[in-house]
Amino acid sequence: MDAFDQEEGNGSAGGEFDWDSHTQGLLLSGFFYGYAASQLPAGWLVARAGGANLMGAGIAGSALLSLLAPVAARCGGAGLLLAVRVVQGMLQGFVFPGAAQLLARWAPPTERSRLYAVIVSGINVGNVITLPVSGLLATHWGWPSAFYCAGVLGVLWWLLWWTQIADSPEVDKRVSLTERDYIKEKIGTVTVCSKVISHPWRKILTSPPYLAKVFATFCADWAFYTVQTQIPMYLKDTLGYNLRGAGFVSALPFVAMGCFQLVAGSLADLLEGRNLLHTTTVRKLYICGGFMMLVLCMLFSTYLTDPSSIVACITFGTAFIAFVYTASSVNILDMAPLHASVLAGLSNTIANLSGMLTPQITGFIVRTQSAAEWRVVFYVTSGVCLLGGAVYGLLGSGELQPWAEDGLEPPVSVALVAVKAPRREDGGVDNPAASVS
């Protein structure tokens, strides 16, 4: 939708579409609503049909819809384009549940944080690149070119994904026997080979460590959405900061989080791999420490008056959310790797509710765009983060949970089992083959 913003604008700007700000906002949020609604169903399907194909199909379908978006806008108007955006969000709801299941089956425990960090840092890099590139495409080749470029890249990515990825080492014909044995040794045969039949919902929904993880993710999303969607208004309307003339400012949190994500993932695996810290200690250190650093930076920014200093302070604090996300996302693999897809789907569904709440609460608090009102927003966000850290510090865990293997069909053993055949009176056996072990 950045293409619409930068070339078409609203009706008053003389663009192709006479859409007011409310309609534009609805189109921008349509993806989010579809994405939030599909998380849990996507996790349930991934657990049964596999993460590789569904994750790839979700992105491929979303890419194809991106190619059709200009046609939808011109032929069906805002209503049809909104439907396209909602379905795109629903399809991309398979991404994180699918990635969680693939990491559970492929990534040894001492490599998970680093691999997850690489995956998520790619999202941040994509945000940094997509925003300015979409603007350039819209300016020089028309707004549809931004949608066409994204769609073509998505389809090309899917072709590569389809030829290279597999749900587990057991079904991947390209993985070597040495690597397959290594993964099974580190992860365990049950995790690599078992099939999910059902999920122990009652135990999941009453598990203190999992609920603590969900709440921590909710609080991290609260802080991130506040910085991403609300802080620009504070800088522009209250401090008079020229955001349009400094477009890189909007990308700074993504750049900082991407860098911190890679550092956080590598450091976590180092601490666990060398047995310097227990897994639970690493998770609590990351989540509690990340929230604490964010709160300190956010509160300190309320005493500053220079807009550039405030931007630097908030950006630095936001970067520490990377530590929270790294620990909380990998935490579901610690607790119940074979239920990871539904755990990720449920957690993301609840956490994304913060994206709906933060604009409403900010709008309720900020009426006159005064610095005092925005200070209250910072205090509320800081309080939410402190509560998230405290809850996880008390209840969080990096241990495999007792219900982790409930509802699973264990892998079928390929070993031959000795069978005692019935003997005849002369001492022979009725079926000699039955006595082979």
- In this structure, the answer to whether residues 53 and 161 fall within a common structural domain is yes
pLDDT at 411: 62
Tell me what the mean pLDDT of segment 277-297 comes to: 95
Asked if the structure places residue 414 within a domain, the reply is no
Q: Is the pLDDT of residue 417 over 80?
A: no
Judge whether 176 lies within some domain: no
Neighbours of 156 (CB within 10 A): 11
DSSP class of residue 400? Answer: P
The proportion of the chain whose per-residue pLDDT surpasses 90, expressed as a percent, equals 37
Q: Are residues 158 and 217 in the same domain?
A: no
Q: Is the pTM of this model over 0.85?
A: no
Residue range 279-293: average pLDDT? 96
244 falls within a domain: yes
In this prediction, residue 367 carries a pLDDT of 84
Q: Which residues pair with 409 in a beta bridge?
A: 195
Is residue 181 one of the residues assigned to a domain? no
Look up the domain containing 230 and give its range. Answer: 199-406
**211 φ/ψ sector (left φ>0, alpha ψ -120 to 50, else beta):** alpha
Let me know if residue 282 belongs to a domain. Answer: yes
Tens digit of each residue's pLDDT (9 = 90 or more) over 348-395: 999 988 877 888 888 888 888 888 888 899 999 999 999 999 999 999
Asked if residue 281 and residue 151 are part of one domain, the reply reads: no
Alpha-carbon torsion 212, 214, 218, 220, what sign?
positive
Amino acid at 211: L
Same domain? 215 vs 87: no
Same domain, 151 and 237: no
The 10s digit of each residue's pLDDT in 176-234 is: 888 888 888 888 766 666 677 789 999 999 999 999 999 999 999 999 888 877 777 77
Strand pairing of 408-409 and 195-196? antiparallel
3-state secondary structure of 330: helix
Give me the mean pLDDT over the 263-275 stretch.
89
> Smallest Cα–Cα separation from 346: which of 39, 2, 37?
39
Q: What is the pLDDT of residues 5-54, one digit of tens each?
A: 444 444 434 567 778 766 776 787 788 888 888 999 999 999 888 888 89
Let me know: does 67 contact 152? Beta carbons within 8 Å. Answer: yes
Which CATH number belongs to the domain containing residue 221 in this structure?
1.20.1250.20
Two structure tokens written together for 354 = 């913060």
Q: Give pLDDT, residue 436.
A: 37
User: What pLDDT score does 104 carry?
Assistant: 87
Residue 228 lies in a domain: yes
> Which two structure tokens, joined as six digits, stand for 285?
């250190």
| 142 in the same domain as 220 | no
CA 116 from centre of chain: 9
Looking at the structure of the chain, the number of domains it has is 2
| CA separation for the pair 223, 214 (Å, rounded) | 15
Please tell me whether residues 217 and 312 are part of one structural domain.
Answer: yes
Q: Say if 150 falls within a structural domain.
A: yes
Interior angle at CA 64, CA 62 and CA 68, nearest 5: 110
Q: 59 and 140, same structural domain?
A: yes
pLDDT of residue 257: 85
Alpha-carbon Rg for the chain in angstroms: 25
Domain co-membership, 238 together with 155: no
The verdict on residue 177 lying in a domain is no
Whether 216 and 158 map to the same domain: the answer is no
What's the mean pLDDT in 314-327?
A: 91
26's CB contacts (< 8 A; 6+ apart) are 78, 82
